[in-house]
Amino acid sequence: MSRIIQPTQQSLISFILTRKTVVVIVVVVVVVVVIVVVEVEVEVVVDIGVTVTVAMLQLVAAAAFTNLVIFSL
């Protein structure tokens, strides 16, 4: 089905998705840095933040990989 879509439209979609992925990664990193800086004394909060960040990054990486696979077909 993906072959029906025009190549230019595909490039545009992948470009938008790539930009979104970059924005998500930047936001996650900023949030984690803020958590670590603000909550240095509270180790539990930092641990939770790091765990959530790793999970988010794994999701983002999986989504990016899926997008690459889909658009390379």
pLDDT value of residue 62: 85
CA-closest candidate to residue 25, choices 61, 69, 73: 61
Give the domain range for residue 55. 7-72
Structural domain includes residue 1: no
Structural domain includes residue 41: yes
Tell me the pLDDT of the chain (73 aa) as tens digits.
455 555 566 677 777 677 777 777 788 888 877 766 666 666 666 677 778 888 888 888 888 888 877 776 6
H-type alpha helices, the chain? 7-38, 43-72
Structural domain includes residue 2: no
State residue 42 phi and psi, 5-degree precision.
-95, 95
pLDDT value of residue 9: 63
pLDDT value of residue 39: 61
Integer Rg of the chain from CA:
17
Q: What total number of domains does the chain contain?
A: 1
